[in-house]
Amino acid sequence: MKKLVQGVLNFQQNVYPANKDLFGELADGQSPDVLFITCSDSRIDPNMVTGSEPGDLFICRNAGNIVPPPSNFTGGMTASIEYAVAVLGVRHVIICGHTDCGAIKGALDIQAIKDQGLPHVKEWLGHCRSAMDIVRERHGISWNEPLDPCYLNEAISQNVLQQVAHIRTHPCVAAKIATKKIYLHGWVYDIKSGNILCSDEQCEEFVPFAERYAEQIKDL
């Protein structure tokens, strides 16, 4: 806690005074352009990675950057997505996975998660099943076999694409996509190198960051 206490004191004494006008504007409301869904992993800092400031990103975090499909059950992710899209009017949704993801490591061998006495983790990781099945199908692996850790990076990428597919089915998102008022992005952040791979416009394959956003980079 000592490091956190020092950080709060530094924020109050130095950071806040230097950004007083910004926080004054944000005190009465927010209008972020981006809904950023990423993992709870402590190594991921969305604002640091994107160079964004307070008010720029509406951030949702959970183990495995998972977006459950819509259902009659109201969960925190579903409600947050609905609020960000329908009320805040975000224009972009980024689902960002990352290398060495512990949640996807667990999804590779879901039975081991069950055996560890983690029933809620097991149920949550069930939302990754389609990604794991795609990897199995590609490599001819039986559905009841655990996936070898050598498939981790492929599973991480497929999980991002499948979560993008899930969010498309949320009614508020589907309506905005149909009217071209919202755009979806899938990212995989490499912790060691700092590189980011991005889904193409169809959210089917991954391409380098500079290739995906070449038009925006030209304007910088």
Task: Output the pLDDT for position 143.
Answer: 87
Domains defined for the chain, CATH in brackets: 1-29 (no CATH), 31-218 (3.40.1050.10)
Q: How do residues 103-141 score in pLDDT, each as one tens digit? A: 999 999 998 988 899 999 999 999 999 999 999 999 999
pLDDT tens across 191-201, in order? Answer: 999 999 999 88
SS3 3: helix
pLDDT at 74: 80
* pLDDT number for residue 147: 96
Name the token pair of 78.
């579903």
pLDDT for residue 35 is more than 90: yes
| 3-state DSSP helix/strand/coil % of the chain, to nearest 5 | 50, 15, 35
What stretches of 43-199 adopt beta strand conformation (E)?
57-62, 92-98, 183-189, 196-199
Q: Which residue has the higher pLDDT, 202 or 172?
A: 172
